[in-house]
Amino acid sequence: MYSGQQPIFILKEGTERTSGRSAQSNNIAAAKAVADSVRSTLGPKGMDKMLVDSMGDVVITNDGATILKEMDIEHPAAKMIIEIAKTQEQHCYDGTTSAVVIAGELLKRSEDLVEQNVHPTVICEGFRLASDKASELIETHSIAVNQDMLEEVAKTALTGKSAGAVKEFLADISVRAVLSVAQENADGEIVVDLDDIKVQKKQGGSIKDSSLVDGIILDKERVHSGMPRSVTDAKVALINSAIEVKKTEVDAKIQITDPSMLSQFLDEEEQYLKSLVEKIQASGASVVICQKGIDDMAQHYMAKAGLFAIRRAKKSDMEALSKATGGRIVTNIDDLSSDDLGSASKVEERKIGESDMVFVTGCSDAKSVSVLLRGGTEHVVDEVRRAFDDSVGVVAVAHEDGVVLTGGGSVVAAISRDLRSYAEGIGGREQMAIEAFSGALEVIPRTLAENAGLDPVDTIIDLRKAHSEGKSHFGVNVYDGGVADMSEAQVFEPSRVVEQAIQSASETAVMILRIDDVISSRAGSPMPDGGEFDGMGMM
């Protein structure tokens, strides 16, 4: 330093900065730690995780997105890996663990290339070429779907989860639910809105007590014990206003100077409520579902009139009821007419577990259905719900796209083999990146083998041999060891799941690789000195 020259500080005190190779290895280590934390949950023989939050609430699951969401992760690069799981969950409903594991493996292999002095931008370019080629290859391996395959897709999604023991039962419910709400749009494409499948959880009983209802289940009960418990050939009025005496918008006082005036005032209120109930009756309604409150006096008159009424229904339930029964939601009772009523063959209150629930069933043109999920304990029901969401999601995706792929790591092994051949024609250092990408994809069959207690090296060798003989549907047989034809074993998954997993994993790996400087303004940012990461240190 020349005499008299002062050091210049451009970052405020407490700011941590890591740059160059150190920043890259830090970010890669963090991403690998996240991938390793969920890796043991992959596949039919994957294990579960128990997550306990700061409030002591327990979640037991092997759903990758749920695990990563519940983990309190601090490192910015690790958070980017969690975004992969979120995106996968939103678009495909399944394959979250696969996507994260592939991303971790891509970064691990890219670190080896960086150490061989291959520039990160060259690796990124190679990864982009490989992921584009992988998308093309997925199309060549796709199989047209039929209804029997949809059930197998659901079973594949349920295998390895707590609900796997009753996968045939839940898969059947998933397929029937999706086919009930599937519609064709103006372009002739099949569209499935999963919001039309309402799911209610109730602990008590076993998972096999779960059921699909061609209508709506409401976690409500009748407002008055004098009302009938069951109504057949019901005409349903959906009302979005309170069946109560209206309150004035401004503060108002009523001065009563005579006892007879008080009696007259109360009679007027009573008469008004009675007139509301008479208007509902006059429309021909036998069941009233109200989104707001129902006055005690109105409840009395409804019970006398033999009406079945529910109050304070959720807005989402009201919309689902409108779709299921064909009724219109009415805001003003004066406008209620017979044309606004929906129809259901039966509306009844049933005791489920400790509480009463209302079942609106037998809706002829139902565009909305409900599923009641049961289980022995709260944790079981929650995990069944997560498994069912995955199952119904993949069935919807497969039904919309009309194509599936064989599972068991067979497709990624086939793509890996094809990418090796593709790399030979590329040349340059990008070839090394494409070969690394190809090798990274084999992490899926290798992890499936590891989690099943098989020898991963022998399994990969057997798999490569089978694929070299043109057996492109062969994947890992986690039950008997070795490899087997996945199309014969009926193991299928939607092509969108595999494509999205590979695309989002490669895009995130590219983004992390391009970072060569981490500037953190928080004191004590995660391990700026290049220390080692592990899964436990990040939770």
Residue 346: other Cβ atoms inside 10 A: 15
Which helix (H) or strand (E) covers residue 28, if one does? helix 21-39
Q: Which of 63, 295, 382, 389 is catalytic?
A: 63
Q: What is the pLDDT of residue 105?
A: 93
Amino acid at 82: I
Structure tokens at 212: 């699909």
Q: What is the pLDDT of residue 261?
A: 67
Q: Which of 41, 96, 156, 325 is catalytic?
A: 96
Q: What is the pLDDT of residue 366?
A: 67
Q: What is the mean pLDDT of each run of 10 residues along the chain (539 residues)?
A: 61 67 82 89 86 83 82 83 87 88 92 87 91 90 85 86 80 88 80 84 83 84 88 89 72 70 71 85 88 87 89 88 86 85 88 83 76 85 87 90 88 91 84 91 92 90 91 88 87 90 91 80 51 43
Q: How far is CA 83 from CA 101, 393, 495, in A?
A: 13, 19, 21
Q: What is the pLDDT of residue 252?
A: 66
Q: What is the pLDDT of residue 168?
A: 87
- Is residue 63 part of the annotated active site? The answer reads yes
Q: Which of 196, 390, 418, 462 is catalytic?
A: 390
Interatomic CA distance for residues 394 and 456, integer angstroms: 28
Q: What is the pLDDT of residue 528?
A: 46
Cβ contacts of residue 465 below 8 Å, gap of 6+? none
Q: Phi first, then psi: what are they for 46, rounded to 5°?
A: -65, 155
Beta bridge partners of 16: 520
Backbone CA torsion sign across 442, 444, 449, 450:
positive
Q: Phi first, then psi: what are they for 329, rounded to 5°?
A: -80, 120
Interatomic CA distance for residues 294 and 303, integer angstroms: 12
Q: What is the pLDDT of residue 457?
A: 92
Contact 187, 171 (CB under 8 A): no
Cβ contacts of residue 425 below 8 Å, gap of 6+? none
Q: What is the pLDDT of residue 365?
A: 67
| Residue corresponding to tokens 């995955």 | 390
Q: Which of 41, 87, 97, 406 is catalytic?
A: 97
Amino acid at 39: R
Which helix (H) or strand (E) covers residue 409, if one does? none
Q: Are strands 355-361 and 342-352 parallel, antiparallel or unpaired?
A: antiparallel
Which candidate, 406, 409, 441, places its Cα nearest to that of 422?
441
Q: What is the pLDDT of residue 536?
A: 42
Interatomic CA distance for residues 372 and 388, integer angstroms: 11
Interatomic CA distance for residues 309 and 302, integer angstroms: 8
Amino acid at 28: I
Residue 450: other Cβ atoms inside 10 A: 18
Q: What is the pLDDT of residue 539?
A: 38
Which candidate, 440, 458, 441, places its Cα nearest to that of 449?
458
Structure tokens at 97: 């663990």
Amino acid at 466: A
Amino acid at 158: L
Amino acid at 149: M
Q: What is the pLDDT of residue 537?
A: 41
Which helix (H) or strand (E) covers residue 228, if one does? none
What letters, b where the CB count within 10 A reaches 16 and e where it falls short, cover 76-90?
Answer: ebbebbbebbebbbe
Q: What is the pLDDT of residue 56?
A: 82
- Is residue 132 part of the annotated active site? The answer reads no
Interatomic CA distance for residues 286 and 307, integer angstroms: 5
The SS3 call for residue 404 is strand
Structure tokens at 320: 């689902």
In order of their start, the domains of the chain are 16-143+405-515 (1.10.560.10), 146-196+377-401 (3.30.260.10), 219-245+256-346 (3.50.7.10)
The SS3 call for residue 230 is strand
- Is residue 459 part of the annotated active site? The answer reads no
Amino acid at 521: S
The SS3 call for residue 174 is helix
Structure tokens at 308: 């079945």
Amino acid at 309: A
- Is residue 97 part of the annotated active site? The answer reads yes
Residue 425: other Cβ atoms inside 10 A: 8
What DSSP string describes 483-532?
Answer: EEETTTTT-EEEHHHHHHHHHHHHHHHHHHHT--EEEE-STT-S-TT-PP
First-to-final CA distance of the chain: 44
Q: What is the pLDDT of residue 321?
A: 86
Q: How far is CA 443 from CA 7, 109, 250, 440, 461, in A?
A: 49, 11, 68, 6, 13
Cβ contacts of residue 146 below 8 Å, gap of 6+? none
Interatomic CA distance for residues 534 and 539, integer angstroms: 9
